[in-house]
A and B are shown apart, each in its own frame.
Chain A
Amino acid sequence: MNESDGKRRLPRYDEAALAYEHPLYKTLLAAPGLSVSVAPLDLLLSWGTMNSLWVFPMATSCCGIELMSAAASRVDLDRMGTIVRATPRQADVMVVAGTITVKMAPRVKLLWDQMPEPKWCIAMGSCAISGDFYRELYSVVPGIDTFLPVDVYIPGCPPNPEALMHGLLRLQEKVKLARAGQLVAKEYPPNRLDITKPSIARLSDPARDPALSAAQEKSAGEATATDESDERGGGNASAVEPFAAETTSTDVEALLRELGVTEFPKDGAPIVPVEQHVTLARRLRAMNYRIFVHVVATHFPEKTGAKAAPERFEVAYALRSVGSGSKIASWRLSLATGQAAPTLVGVFAGADWQEREQFDLVGVRFDGHPDLRRIMMPGNWEGHPLRKDYPADKACTPWR
């Protein structure tokens, strides 16, 4: 068949036009008792690829639960040939389901690089697409397309399982078109990229600096090494002190008065002298306040003018009594700049991580803590983000 016949030119992969015209097909069909089905190899391959998109779940948060729901009974992704593989080496599609933080981003990049070609990427949910409402904050990557080539975006917070299914169907269409050579890469007008004003150039942005990609590659390579060199906040080995039942009193206020506290403000816990702090915790523990609730450090920056006050930190502690009629006992320490609070690790093992968190985020040091290093932020992070003078939208290169 050719154009000179004046007939309509058929599409490249129309099996009716090509395969059934093939002389081999006609020969085989002539053989008695043989039934033959013929398709171009390329068609077979793209059919196979389309209908066996194996998913690698890069599930970090809420969207991951919806990804699980999609794989479970009601929606059942398996009937589309989509099964979930826990290793990148067996997967075709990375579904990034959830928020990606600057601490996680190097790992995501590493996992992406471990996936064999051909591979596709789906950004599931607003956090993966743009960082959602966390996008201006210090620790969140504003959209994974700043370091991964995203094929399909599924909006929602989180998208329903049905939406994920729809996204996979759209990816199937895309795979089919790409294999048939019919997919034209969209050219975004440059002003359209400015609509969302990303704080970092997307991979598809023509104005993106190649040095940025290089920096991201380098950072991904160093991802695991970084945590080993965590900054330590000093301190020495812990001495676990024995449990001492030294009081029979049950009245917290009487105990506080005994320890030299005279003021009991109505709008908060009483402020306890720093030197009485560990004794208080131990005595409260003997009074059945045995559940360690929290440590909260707060930054009060220097004030000038009529209400002038120097910079200070407040650390609030709370313990809870066990069993019937459970009550909270709480107190505060007031610290000047650079002053350390005595650690409670010797009295309550649970203070370990709590004090590390407050050291990490607020920058209060705890004297005698055996392992005072960052817990939430990467080891090479600079500054303490929950201080009032730390901007809420400070960029962290190279991921933001």
Chain B
Amino acid sequence: MEMSEAHAVLASARRARVDPHLSIKTYDPEADMMLLHFGPQHPSTHGVFRMDLHLDGEIVVKATPYVGYLHRAVEKLCEKLSYVMLTPIVDKNDYVAPMTNEQALNMAFEKLLGVEVPRRARWLRTILAELQRVASHLLWLGTFTLDLGGALGGGSTLFLHCFRERELILDLFEDLTGARFHYNTHTIGGNRHDLPAGFAAKVKQVVAVIEARLPEYAALSLDNGIFKARTTGVGVLDGDLALELGITGPVLRASGVDHDLRRDAPYHAYDELPVNVVVGHGGDCRARAEVRFAEMRESLRLVRDAIDGVPEGPINGYKPIRQPTMAKSTGGQVYVGIETPRGELGTFVIGGGDTPTSPYRLKIRPPSLHSLSALPYILPGQTVSDAVAILGSLDPIMGEVDR
């Protein structure tokens, strides 16, 4: 089949929804198709993720994703341990944004145990969540450009720049919690570490540095000819399909759906600190990149506004926990979802059971798993190199996909 002809056929097929379960034998038994195993160890899969790509020439005809290569049995572990022991465990799920993992888990426990979080702790959590969002998006931008340009194609320039700025935010977290990575700073009812002296000034300095450098990054990526050519019109995801698949976060907003839990179902201090929701249009890789850029700017603004207004008061509203047995649930089922850098991270907990100090069943709803499930729908019709760009633009973190 000619390249242009194949593009035309597949472009029309893309307007109708692809059936991901159709057997590959029904496509064209005569065609000289190739099966390409992509992953599970590939630098562009952002972890251990595998796709089987059926190719006609360079065009993907069918994509079958496989996950589970990092299935660490977190949900089974959560049934063994007590409520207060679980925060450091879920840190490792979405290892690019551990702060928001801890928040999602502890908010579910707070709802289950009926604990009120003091206002200072809620402001603190807001600031940490927004800083984490910037750090996470910076890591996404660095690796995404690395995927597009390759280490020798100019992509690594932005990779090095983004990691430089990400380190500034990690330094702030290290000041606050003592850890670079897995913080363990949220507990049931509030936070563990209060702001150290001079923290606000440091935050403002970091925010100013990153804000000043963002236009430079936009010039290196969004305005770059190669970047434009690799992302515009590539991997178009329809808003209706995105909703149906349960996709949330920047990927959903890039498809033109105005939905953000920070504004629509406010938690933390977002009712006092209004968020301007960024909505993209087009649903392609470029729209997803633009949404994340604008979100970084918005988060930095939010942090700058919030850091001076942190109210005084206690940072933990729960009794100090000296023993794991002190947090007990008599039963009930709760679900709490929050907006993390990747979308709605939810925690569903069933309390009670034979051991009241640990959850009977705990399910983590990972936003990345839902994003990845779009791949069989949007990959057919694209080239193999576009598959890398599309996967990168969805920003999956395999730790939370597989748990």
Q: Which residues of A contact B (CB under 8 A)?
A: 57-62, 64-66, 68-69, 72-74, 86, 98-99, 101, 103-104, 107-108, 111, 133-134, 137-140, 157-158, 160, 224, 227, 237-238, 240, 267-269, 290-294, 296, 298, 316, 318, 320, 322-328, 330, 348-350, 352-354, 361, 370-371, 374-378, 385-386, 392
Contact = CB atoms under 8 A, between A and B. Distances in A.
Nearest to A353: B373
Given A316-B333, A385-B76, A392-B80, A61 B95 contact: yes
Given A101-B72, A103-B71, A298-B360, A137 B264 contact: no
A227 B182 contact: no
Contacts of B264: 323-326
A30 B92 CA distance: 65
Nearest to A66: B181
Nearest to B363: A296
A86 B69 contact: no
B68 interface: yes
Interface string B232-266: 00000000010111111000000001110101110
Contacts of A325: 264-265
Nearest to A325: B264
B369 A353 contact: yes
B89 A133 contact: yes
Contact of A298 (B20, B164, B259, B361): B361
B70 A348 contact: no
A328 B335 contact: yes
B163 A349 contact: no
A267 B332 contact: yes
B344 A377 contact: no
A376 B402 contact: yes
Contact of A64 (B47, B243, B244): B47
A357 to B, nearest CB: 8
Contact of B73 (A64, A160, A385): A385
Contact of B261 (A58, A107, A267, A326): A326
Interface residues of B, number: 75
B388 interface: no
A375 B366 CA distance: 15
Interface in B49-98: 66-73, 75-77, 79-80, 89, 92, 95-96
B68 A73 contact: no
Contact of B363 (A140, A240, A294, A353): A294
B205 interface: no
Contact of B71 (A73, A101, A318, A370): A101
B396 interface: no
Contacts of B369: 353
Given A69-B167, A240-B17, A269-B333, 17 more contacts: A60-B70, A61-B398, A65-B181, A69-B166, A72-B142, A73-B160, A73-B161, A224-B37, A237-B21, A291-B259, A298-B350, A326-B261, A348-B245, A349-B244, A349-B377, A377-B71, A392-B76
A326 B41 contact: no
B139 interface: yes
Interface string B339-373: 00000101010100000000011010100011001
Contacts, number: 198
B399 A293 contact: no
A73 B164 contact: yes
Contact of A107 (B40, B77, B244, B333): B40
A296 B348 contact: yes
B40 to A, nearest CB: 6
Nearest to A378: B68
Contacts of A290: 243-244
26 contacts: A61-B47, A62-B181, A66-B180, A69-B166, A73-B161, A98-B70, A101-B68, A138-B73, A139-B71, A140-B73, A237-B21, A240-B19, A269-B333, A291-B248, A291-B259, A291-B344, A294-B246, A294-B363, A324-B263, A350-B244, A350-B245, A353-B369, A353-B370, A353-B373, A375-B68, A377-B68
Contacts of A292: 243-246, 370
A267 B92 CA distance: 30
B256 to A, nearest CB: 12
Nearest to A243: B240
B331 interface: yes
Nearest to A371: B21
Contacts of B66: 227
A139 B68 CA distance: 10
Given A74-B167, A323-B258, A350 B370 contact: yes
Nearest to B43: A86
Contacts of A108: 41
Given A60-B70, A326-B261, A72 B159 contact: yes
